[in-house]
Amino acid sequence: MKKAFVTGGAGFIGSQLAEELLKEDYEVHIIDNLSSGYRKYIPDGALFHHLDICSASAKDIIIKEKPDVLFHLAAQADVSRSIKNPQHDAEVNIIGTINMLEACREAGGCKLIFSSTSAVYGNLDKNRISIEDPALPISYYGLSKLAAENYIRIYHELYQLPTTILRYGNVYGPRQTPKGEGGVVAVFLNKLKNRQPLTLHGNGKQTRDFIYVRDVVSANLAAVRNGNGQTLHVSTGKPTSIQEVAGILAELHPEEAELIYTNSRPGDIEHSCLNNEQTIRVLGWQPEMNMKAGLKAAYRSMQNESF
């Protein structure tokens, strides 16, 4: 039986990845310190290790179990928190990643698939960003993820460690919390649920490449089969404005939703859309969920959630 570890496997994306791995008959181990994840999301059949990715214990369990693949999703993923506390951000995202890389190397070269982010690019003035474009992060979160990517690249080159780096667009969908890792979709859904107005920073015309969580899961699984040392975008290749998202959600909501415009936030990116053609070619993967259907699924899920 194939064996997989998922760091952050009690979280939004990681728990849904763990479920799919179980369906594919993997023995699934989850490492999570539950700082932003939830026990209720850990799927039945997965083996749970309540550990921090920076710990010696997390490294030791990977070396002992010798998995075929490690999906490294655990991270400090809050941009605002990274600005307030860059040291904590670096400890989790850089030191934690190095710890996982060492574990994979000492476990005999288990494949590492890394969840990265479009935040590495910063504020590039481009309609569609390609992998070859310069990475110039404008937040410590983007910077720490880029540093982690470079550690992975060098481990791949020095030790021939099998790796794939996946830079995600703005992931959304069921189980996304409106705090910490939560993106604008989860925040808006929580506001609607609590009968609060939707707050748009700046003019609301900022665009993002929103990608549904199940499409991200399928890209991770495709990377096991076809990824080999590449850095790839997991995205739709289509920009959607924050205003559009608010509009679609307001239509889904039976009560009238109020929109409030406020100041832009430091570290926020204006426009972000990722070219996904290389990913489609290399991984044999396609995003399948369209925005309206994805937002509908996320809306229905949030109505039943409690945090």
One-letter-per-residue 3-state SS of the chain? CCEEEEECCCCHHHHHHHHHHHHCCCEEEEECCCCCCCHHHCCCCCEEECCCCCCHHHHHHHHHHCCCEEEECCCCCCHHHHHHCHHHHHHHHHHHHHHHHHHHHHCCCCEEEEEEEHHHHCCCCCCCECCCCCCCCCCHHHHHHHHHHHHHHHHHHHHCCCEEEEEECEEECCCCCCCCCCCHHHHHHHHHHCCCCEEEECCCCCEECEEEHHHHHHHHHHHHHHCCCCEEEECCCCCEEHHHHHHHHHHHCCCCCCEEEECCCCCCCCECCECCHHHHHHHCCCCCCCHHHHHHHHHHHHHHCCC
Task: Give the pLDDT mean for 82-88.
Answer: 96
| pLDDT over threshold 60, residue 98 | yes
- Find how far residue 182's CA is from the centre of its chain: 10
In this chain, the answer to whether the domains covering 3-170+211-236+274-287 and 184-207+239-272+293-304 adopt an identical fold is: no
pTM of the model: 0.94
Specify the CATH class of 184-207+239-272+293-304 in words: alpha beta
Q: What percent of the chain has pLDDT over 90?
A: 81
Specify the CATH class of 3-170+211-236+274-287 in words: alpha beta
pLDDT in tens, 192-214: 999 999 999 888 999 999 999 99
Q: Which residue's entry shows tokens 């830079």?
A: 167
Count Cβ neighbours within 10 Å for each residue of 270-304 and write b for 16 or more, e otherwise. ebbbbbbeebbebbebebebebeebbebbbeebee
| Residue 94 neighbours by CB distance under 10 Å | 19
Confidence of residue 306 (pLDDT cuts 50, 70, 90): low
pLDDT in tens, 275-304: 999 999 999 999 999 999 999 999 998 877
Query: For residue 285, which of 218, 198, 236, 239 has the smallest C-alpha distance?
Result: 218
Task: Give the pLDDT mean for 263-277.
Answer: 84
Q: Which residue's entry shows tokens 């921090």?
A: 52
What pLDDT, on a 0 to 100 scale, did the predictor assign at position 278? Answer: 98
Domains of the chain, residue spans: 3-170+211-236+274-287, 184-207+239-272+293-304
Rounded to 10 deg, the angle between the 56-65 and 96-106 helix axes is 30
Residues 6 or more apart whose CB falls under 8 angstroms from that of 300 comprise none
Check if the beta carbon of residue 50 is closer than 8 Å to that of residue 30.
Answer: no
Of 96-105, 152-161, 251-260, the one with minimum mean pLDDT is 251-260
Q: How far apart are CA 224 and CA 243, in angstroms?
A: 36
| Residues tagged active-site | 141
By CB neighbour count within 10 A (0-12 exposed, 13-18 middle, 19+ buried), where does 20 fall?
middle
